[in-house]
Amino acid sequence: MTKKAFNKIADGLTEAIAIARGEAKPAHLSVPSDNPPPLKRRGIVPTTPSMSLVDLANPTRFLGFSQRLLPFTWAVALGLLAVGLYMAFFTAPADYQQGDTVRIMFIHVPSAWLSMGCYGLMAIASLGTLVWRHPLADVTAKSAAPLGAAFTFLTLVTGSLWGKPMWGTWWVWDARLTSELVLLLMYLGLIALWQAMDDQGRAARVAAVLTLVGTINLPIIKFSVDWWNTLHQPASVLRLDGPTIDISMLIPLFVMAGAFTLMFAALLMMSMRNEILRRRVRTMELTAAGLGA
């Protein structure tokens, strides 16, 4: 390896570490100034602008990116929802055992998947908070919690409305239903925790630890129907040997799942934008209080 190549790699690493520590920005994010930062003077600023994860970690960059993506996400989500609802009511047949109540599954199952998927996302974000201190990690976790609670609540309510005519009861304390209820309580607890602490940095770390501890509930929800004798039926879509649902019901289910997932993505982006604005407002209010404005 030539000395020139070695120096180039070393400079790149130095720059990457400085950016990761928040001591420097990529050149195309830097504010033009007559007094360039030390890194720029040392000639280690990349010459070609590029979009990277570091760019998206910048809240301002995220605001611009999400603003462009939101209309497209909503358009596709609502389009899929229209198609999914048409299929759910007009093309999907009634089930030979459940009759028409099977149509409740087209909203119950996507909600249940999202209730768990959202928690999984929060767990990844919590790792981002604790390990990498990613600027948007705790914004993501905090913004996702109310959405996860909404989809978990919807799962429980629609399941109950299906259970009454099919099982003859609104509720039963079986492992699947109880673990899903625990998930809702965990979401509510995390929301309360965020609201209870003024120091958002401290709240982020405490909530991240609690979220990671709570991930133990995800495999319990998923495998509860296999581990225990439950009234809730075993998995019929996400199985190693393939789905047991007829294709005429499986396609509307996947279309509705796609619509719900995109709606969740759009709502999460909107909620994250609000959270970024909330932190800016708080910072500015503290500045105003300090200046006596």
Binding site for another protein (CB under 8 A): 31-34, 94, 99-101, 103-104, 107-108, 111, 146-147, 150, 153-154, 157-158, 161-162, 164-165, 263, 267, 270-271, 273-274, 277-278, 280-281, 283-285, 287-288, 291, 293
- CB nearer another protein, residue 70 or residue 212: 70
| End-to-end CA separation in angstroms for the chain | 59
Taking the complex as a whole, the smallest distance from the CB of residue 156 to another protein amounts, in Å, to 10
19 or 212: CB nearest another protein: 19
Taking the least distance from each CB to another protein, the nearer of 111 and 129 is 111
Question: Shortest approach of another protein to residue 95 CB, angstroms?
Answer: 10
Rounded to a whole number of angstroms, the minimum distance from the CB of residue 26 to another protein is 15
Q: Which one, 78 or 212, has the nearer CB to another protein?
A: 78
Smallest distance, another protein to C-beta of residue 155, A: 10
Least CB distance from residue 94 to another protein, whole Å? 7
Nearer to another protein, 130 or 166 (CB): 166
Residue type, 27: A
Q: Shortest CA distance to 43 belongs to which of 2, 10, 80? A: 10
Minimum Å gap between C-beta 78 and another protein is: 11
- Kindly tell me which of 111 and 179 has the beta carbon lying closer to another protein: 111
Quote the distance between the C-alpha of residue 268 and its chain's center: 7
